[in-house]
Structure 1
Amino acid sequence: MSSGPVTLKRMLEPLRWRKSPDQPPQSQRCHHDPFDRDTVATIIESDIVPRLLMAHSIEPLTVRDRPQKRIDDLAVSRFAELPMTLEAAGLLDEVDRFIEAGVSVESVYIDLLAPAARSLGEMWTRDECDFVEVTMGLWRLQEVMREISGRYPSIRQSEGPAPRMACLFSPVPGDDHSFGALMIDDVFSRAGWESEVVPQPVRRELLDAVSRRPFDLIGLTVSRECAAGTLRSLITALRKASANPHVAIMVGGRRINEDPALVADVGADGTGTDARAALDVARRLVKAAPARASSQQ
């Protein structure tokens, strides 16, 4: 997991364009153009939002055992406009009203605050706000999450009597942004999986990791444009190197959500549009993995 406090400066660090001599050739890696509006919106969607959810992820005892109230779409839309106009204290008052009404803190994070952060990225893309306004809006949302996380400490699910399933998550090698993989690793850990993450991998490191331990599931996040052939080659190599002949492989992230047909095209077994969906798909894939492997032989 991450080290040190999550500050706005650290969240915006991906905007600093840099090249590394260790990166693969341009034709074989995921890439993006520096400092354009799509880049900022993508970083908010695939990096900053998951980073915030991962860093402040919570599972409060105070609301777990009572019926959970849903946040309706109108309320989500209304709240999404507030980070541009309200200070953090005002946003926190709004969030407190939802929690007092019976909305779980997890739902507040995933269904309310994350869409508000995404909305900032969309406003930037449409040229409806400048970079300073986006930065201030994100800072206010972060302050709200920091306050709530202090009230409701994180709780890991205890290990049950049944063996826990093992999974490994990583961004595609060459994709510099690891926040999505870090977030999904945390979500699966909370759900009882033995989860590991390789936040900044090279291809050989991933292959070595799956050869040493028989993971039930491998998850790859793809937040940038990436050649289908490159991803297909990586998945084929992971299956060949895996210590588990029945390993299930999922792909996810912004790029996959934009083009779900890539899942089958690159030879993956499934995807999930968000963390909740990914958990459900992963359980089904692991359960069905032996039969699926037999049918592919």
Structure 2
Amino acid sequence: MAVGAWRHFSQGFELDAASLECGPSPATALNPDLVVDDVSFVRGDLSRLIEGEILPRLMLVHQEAVRPSRLLVERRPTPEQIATFSALLLDPAAEDVTGHVLGLLDGGLSLDGLLLELLTPAARELGRLWEEDECDFVDVTVALGRLHAVARTLCGRLESEAWGPHGRSILLVPCPGETHIFCLSIVASFFREAGWDVTTGDADSGFDLLRAEWFDVVGLTLSCDVLLPGLADTVRAMRKVSCNRGVRVMVGGPLFVRHPEQLHASGADAMAEDARIAPRIAESLLEKQAQAC
């Protein structure tokens, strides 16, 4: 079936340890003892929680009655399979890493599970080895090239299962300063598989695209706590420059997996903790917007 278009602006996706986590900075560390006395603030926070997280997920229940679910993964890669794959990426004698992964697919593991639960941990491990000087530049570069080849093959298969295009568009960019963008390419494939027109780029090109073109949704990814203070300013600026004054904004990435409560601080409309459900949450945002008109 046809899939949505995919355009990319700026540099190619770098496979540099997608989910490598950065430690929280003192300025952004959460304070569990914080007490809020302003009742109106609490009510507003609760309202945003309901509109940004609960309602989209309730709407997904209705959507799943129409479209078969791809969220349930019967078999996940085991820790042993993840370790074997990571070792193959770094093995100079390994000649067919992609074939090894396709063998796992033929053995019953899902595309979703391989993309999100095999490739992502492997990328994280490569980042750790590089940062701790356990691998040299050449080894990591070769391993990343292999990882990229596997991801390209799996994403191609994912998109070949796509539903028909529905004319909705999304711009996917990293938060300014974000360097861990491997997962952004995988998220783009899940949106294309769902029939979306996808445009990707960096934060700078994203502003130019928003000024020039109509996008229904903007998706921003963030992994490091230290970049969180600037995200809210980026969201505000993107809403201001967008030629779609009602553009919806989603956030995701490792930071929001660790701290989902930071959705409010980001100023975004919704959050997706998993690439598999991101297109459905985006759909629910637009349906809710249409119902409000």
Give the corresponding residue for 1:277: 277
User: What residue is the counterpart of 1:208 in the other structure?
Assistant: 211
- Range moving further from structure 2, 270-279 or 136-145: 136-145
Q: Following the alignment from structure 1 to structure 2, what is the Cα–Cα distance between the partners of residues 107 and 266?
A: 28
Q: Which residue of 1 aligns with 2:125?
A: 119
Structure 1 gaps, min length 5: 13-42, 48-64
Distance 1:178 1:74 in 2: 24
The structure-2 alpha-carbon separation of the partners of 1:182 and 1:115, relative to structure 1 and needing over 3 Å to count, comes to: closer
Matched, 1:157 2:162: yes
- Map of 1:88 onto structure 2: 94
- Determine helix, strand or coil for the equivalent of 1:276: coil
Q: Is the 8 A contact 2:249 2:268 kept in 1?
A: yes
Aligned residue for 2:270, secondary structure, equals coil
Could you say which residue in structure 2 is the equivalent of 1:45? 18
Q: What is the rounded CA distance, in whole Å, between the counterparts of 2:274 and 2:102 in structure 1?
A: 25
Equivalent residue runs for 1:47-62 within 5 Å: none
Structure 2 distance, partners of 1:168, 1:143, is 24
Give the equivalent residue in structure 2 for 1:222: 222
Kept after mapping to 2: 8 A contact 1:221/1:253: yes
RCO higher in structure (CA 8 A, sep ≥6): 2
| Structure 2 contact 8–199 (Cα < 8 Å) conserved | no
In 2, the alpha carbon distance for the partners of 1:165 and 1:234 equals 23
- Mapped to 2, the partners of 1:153 and 1:124 lie a distance apart of 30
**What SS does the corresponding residue of 2:249 show, helix, strand or coil?**
strand
What is aligned with 1:172?
Answer: 175
TM-score by length of 2: 0.60
2:24 aligned residue: none
State the 1:192 CA deviation.
Answer: 0.8
Normalised to the residue count of structure 1, the TM-score between the two structures is: 0.59
Q: What count of residue pairs does the alignment treat as equivalent? A: 233
Contact kept? 2:8, 2:200, Cα under 8 Å: no
Deviation at 1:266, TM superposition (A): 2.2
Corresponding position of 1:191: 194
Partner AA of 2:197 in structure 1? E
Q: Distance in 1 between matches of 2:79 and 2:95?
A: 22
Q: Which runs of 5+ in 2 are unaligned?
A: 1-6, 21-69
Cα deviations across residues 132-163 of structure 1 (Å, max 9, x unaligned)? Answer: 443343344445557x5699695273536xx5
Whichever residue aligns with residue 71 of structure 1, its letter is R
Q: Distance in 1 between matches of 2:171 and 2:218?
A: 5
What amino acid is the match of 1:283?
A: E
Q: Quote the residue 1:134 is aligned against.
A: 140
How big is each residue's C-alpha offset from its partner over 1:159-180, in whole Å with a ceiling of 9 and x where there is no partner? Answer: 36xx533322223345577655
2:107 aligned residue: 101
Kindly report the root-mean-square deviation, in angstroms, between the aligned alpha carbons of the 2 structures: 4.1
Partner in structure 1 of residue 265 of structure 2: 265
Shift of 1:250: 0.8
Tell whether the 8 Å contact from 1:175 to 1:223 is kept in structure 2 after alignment: yes
AA in 1 matched with 2:84: F
For 1:5-44, list aligned pairs within 5 A.
11=14, 43-44=16-17
Q: State the distance in 2 between where 1:169 and 1:265 align.
A: 20
Supply the distance in 2 between the matched residues of 1:259 and 1:150 (Cα, whole angstroms): 28
